[in-house]
Structure 1
Amino acid sequence: MEVYKRGKAWTYRIRYKDTNGKRKSLSKSGFKTKKEAYTVGLEMELKYKQIGLSTDENISFYDYYLNWINVYKIGKLDKTTESRYNAIGKFIQDKFHDDLLKQVTKSQYQQALDDYAETHVKHTVRRFNGIIRHCIKDALEDRVIYRDFTRDVVIQGSESKSADLKYLEKNEASQLKQMCEDRASIKAVSYYEIYFGLMTGCRYGEVTGMTWKDIDLENKTIDINKAWDYKDNTGFKNTKTPSSVRVITINDQLIAMLKKLRTEQNTTYLKQGYRDDLNLVFRNNCHKIISDEAVNKTLRTVLGTDQINAKNIITFHGLRHTHASLLISNNIGIDYISKRLGHSNTSITMNIYIHLLENRRKSEDKKAMKFLETI
């Protein structure tokens, strides 16, 4: 290793051979002292002796991220999720331009994340950082970098719930459930879908793509293995992520509703001489698949009635958050909830519902302290 002064700054240079035996060199300048340059250079030299240096060490942050999503994400997720990954790429390009990945500092990244947090809630910032952090972990494994600048960053952002995180309170969910039971019919399939979403936590695409063969009424389970492209209406598609494929248990009340719907469908379709080759669960009497806009309109209308008068007028996705919040408030284990929702790991679930979990922790603190007083 060489350490020398270039202008007013110190530089280290490491010479090594790549896997093909070609001579390479790696250098970095800008150090204020010779000792600082030597220390960092020595660390890099030790890294080389242990695991080698990447031949792609001069790739930009943006280019590495772009390549990463093309390899691991694009074409494997739904369009909505892919657009989120693309938006992060735009953020990296705007904030870091052509900066080399290996040169990005923790303070630079923290500042960029803080800028993003000025117009976003904390949950969104945390999810945003989680995606980038995953990318950086792969960069470490690829030996493009040797320091994780995303580690222990501070997550900023508004504490208020965004539209995505709105959910119903228990009494509101109970009233909504009752109204769906009273109003659901093959002519008003939206109520069946709302009921199904509330009781399972499924995404709208998963609900719309549900077929009767996916429902095992005897064993009380549903098999979530696909979704419906309700945006472009192109038919079945893959679930949001591979981990979204799952089998979950359903209760007797939902089974009764599904049996009622199937009886209505069979009777109506027999009279009409209609056969559904796709065997979809949620078609109406006109053989139509209800749009998400129509279902959300029904949901808004119901929640705004005097009978419910909900504090939060949620969208269908809010039913998923409601489902999770009710389970959390009832002290159901986070591992179970995570698998039921189709998350790849519990950290995703914990990040999304961190405020609810924090409320539960505080409640558990009070119980624990009260118990300790009895010892």
Structure 2
Amino acid sequence: MPQFVRKNGFWGVRVNWVEHLNKKTVYRRKYKQGFKTKREASMWANKFLAKANSGELVEQKIPTFPDYFMQWARIYRFTHITEVTKNRYIVTASHLESYFGSKPLNKITRSNYQEFLNEYSKDHAPSSVNKTKGLIKSCLDSAVADGLIRVNFSLGSQATGNKKKKLVVIYPNVEQIENILNLALERRKPYYPSFYIIITAILTGMRLAEICGLTWDRIDVENRTFKIDRAYNHLATDKEHIFKTLKNESSYRTIRVSHNLISVLSELKVNGSNLVFAEKNNPYKVPYSNGVKHPLKKIIKDLDYNLGDFHFHSLRHCHVALLHHDGIDWYSISKRLGHENLTTTLKTYAYLVEEDKIKSDDLIETQLDNFLTIGEKIGETSKKHKIK
């Protein structure tokens, strides 16, 4: 109940209320004076207590930028992304921690954030900067919705990244791809599955996790198909969790493969595991990341190819190059790769699409020249038979 006091011709009022903070009960009180009438004091007290009882007066502790970023990531992102993608969020949080430290989120200005981007851009490639900006913008949109900040201070920020940090991949031509494949075939040994993984990547275009998650029951020998419906979880600590879901819905697919590839892979059955590419002495362990990166680098080095930052995922490009060379249409290639749509495929392999455009332009030019020649011949014939 409010307690009223009249002093020097004015009214004052004292109110008491209870707050519950982190499972603790805290008793609060407030006194306000200067009201001309008791009724004014009573009206103020009633409004104040209404806010207090609804929790509006509880002071909200504003988290630091990196703390809120990780809290947001765990709640809204980690439930449906891969471990590799999770690591990107963790790395971003570490950069925020290094720059902003314990500064509360609501104390950061647009200028502060722009200065952070300027520093970050010095040592990171444009693609990395754009990805980081995207993650932070989504996080700050959530902070606005949570009432922690009034506006998203990342809006209007500018950062291009350091183009010198951009890793350039030089994709091999068809002859070089065939040489990489042949050397992998020569070096394959059943007790060392890494070369079989490289061979499979070139001949199927499958992602590394998709290849490593392949089991014998997913290989249809009679119809020569691979059923791709799960991926290998290289971070699993027990056999019950060695599989994970695929990247997206369109990644679930069945692809045709050659009889020769199935024949080569059948050599791995001597390792005695349901996992096609399992190591000989560990039926649930498959070579991953460095386990395939180093053998691939050795092949490239021994062939004396300068392919820049060529890595395992580049073998997916090699597969596309082989299909494209043999005249396979882009829609079929897109479906085989498990892309969400044709636009993704055309954007990813734009350099090959440009080759198509050049060939088409040359063909169009040739055809138009033929039409012009035909037109000239028709004109000459018309003159000969012209009626005088």
Same fold (TM over 0.5): yes
Aligned to 1:155: 159
Aligned to 2:338: 340
Q: Out of 132, 136, 140, which is 1:136 matched to?
A: 140
154-163 vs 124-133, which moves further: 154-163
Alignment of 1:91 onto 2:95: yes
Instruction: Measure how far apart 1:167 and its partner are.
Output: 5.5
189-198 vs 289-298, which moves further: 289-298
Aligned to 2:169: 166
Instruction: Measure how far apart 1:223 and its partner are.
Output: 1.8
Instruction: Measure how far apart 1:176 and its partner are.
Output: 1.9
Query: Is residue 199–residue 323 contact of structure 1 (8 Å, CA) maintained in 2?
Result: yes
Q: Out of 199, 206, 225, which is 1:195 matched to?
A: 199
Alignment of 1:295 onto 2:292: yes
Aligned to 2:13: none
Aligned to 2:227: 222
Q: What amino acid maps onto 2:171 in structure 1?
A: L
Query: Is residue 109–residue 149 contact of structure 1 (8 Å, CA) maintained in 2?
Result: yes
Instruction: Measure how far apart 1:285 and its partner are.
Output: 5.9
Q: Out of 112, 122, 134, which is 1:118 matched to?
A: 122
Query: Is residue 198–residue 322 contact of structure 1 (8 Å, CA) maintained in 2?
Result: yes
Aligned to 1:309: 305
**RMSD of aligned residue pairs (Cα, Å):** 4.9
SS of the counterpart of 1:213? Answer: helix
Query: Is residue 210–residue 228 contact of structure 2 (8 Å, CA) maintained in 1?
Result: no
Partner Cα distance (2:206, 2:286) in 1: 16
Taking a change above 3 Å as real, the CA distance of residues 201 and 158 of structure 1, as seen in their structure-2 partners, is farther
Give the gaps of 5 or more residues in structure 1. Answer: 1-14, 26-54, 270-274
Determine which structure has more spread, i.e. the larger CA radius of gyration.
2
SS of the counterpart of 1:250? Answer: strand
Q: What amino acid maps onto 1:296 in structure 2?
A: K
Partner Cα distance (2:295, 2:85) in 1: 26
Q: What amino acid maps onto 1:243 in structure 2?
A: N
Q: What amino acid maps onto 1:131 in structure 2?
A: L
Q: What amino acid maps onto 1:281 in structure 2?
A: V
C-alpha distance after superposition, 1:32-52 (max 9, x if no partner): xxxxxxxxxxxxxxxxxxxxx
Partner Cα distance (1:301, 1:328) in 2: 27
Aligned to 2:275: 280
Aligned to 2:35: none
SS of the counterpart of 1:66? Answer: helix
Instruction: Measure how far apart 1:126 and its partner are.
Output: 1.8
C-alpha distance after superposition, 1:265-287 (max 9, x if no partner): 45x46xxxxx43xx111136666
Instruction: Measure how far apart 1:101 and its partner are.
Output: 3.2
Partner Cα distance (1:103, 1:170) in 2: 54
Percent identity for Structure 1 against Structure 2: 20
Partner Cα distance (1:234, 1:143) in 2: 42
Partner Cα distance (2:54, 2:126) in 1: 48
Instruction: Measure how far apart 1:211 and its partner are.
Output: 1.3
Aligned to 2:255: 250
Q: What amino acid maps onto 1:246 in structure 2?
A: S
Q: What amino acid maps onto 2:212 in structure 1?
A: T
Taking a change above 3 Å as real, the CA distance of residues 234 and 342 of structure 1, as seen in their structure-2 partners, is farther
1:35-74 equivalent positions in 2, closer than 5 A: 58-74=62-78
C-alpha distance after superposition, 1:300-338 (max 9, x if no partner): 2211234x62423633244346557888999947x9489
Partner Cα distance (1:219, 1:18) in 2: 70
Query: When the two structures are superposed, what TM-score results if normalisation uses the length of structure 2?
Result: 0.60
Q: Out of 207, 212, 226, which is 1:208 matched to?
A: 212
Query: When the two structures are superposed, what TM-score results if normalisation uses the length of structure 1?
Result: 0.62
Q: What amino acid maps onto 2:278 in structure 1?
A: R
SS of the counterpart of 2:74? Answer: helix
**Corresponding residue pairs, total:** 312
C-alpha distance after superposition, 1:163-205 (max 9, x if no partner): 5x63533333343234334554535532220022234454434
SS of the counterpart of 2:248? Answer: helix
Taking a change above 3 Å as real, the CA distance of residues 362 and 232 of structure 1, as seen in their structure-2 partners, is same
Partner Cα distance (2:320, 2:148) in 1: 39
Instruction: Measure how far apart 1:65 and its partner are.
Output: 1.0
Q: Which has the higher contact order (CA 8 A, sep 6+)?
A: 1
Query: Is residue 227–residue 237 contact of structure 1 (8 Å, CA) maintained in 2?
Result: yes
89-98 vs 202-211, which moves further: 202-211
Aligned to 1:30: none
SS of the counterpart of 1:166? Answer: coil
Aligned to 1:105: 109
Instruction: Measure how far apart 1:112 and its partner are.
Output: 1.0
Query: Is residue 170–residue 306 contact of structure 2 (8 Å, CA) maintained in 1?
Result: no
Partner Cα distance (1:168, 1:301) in 2: 16
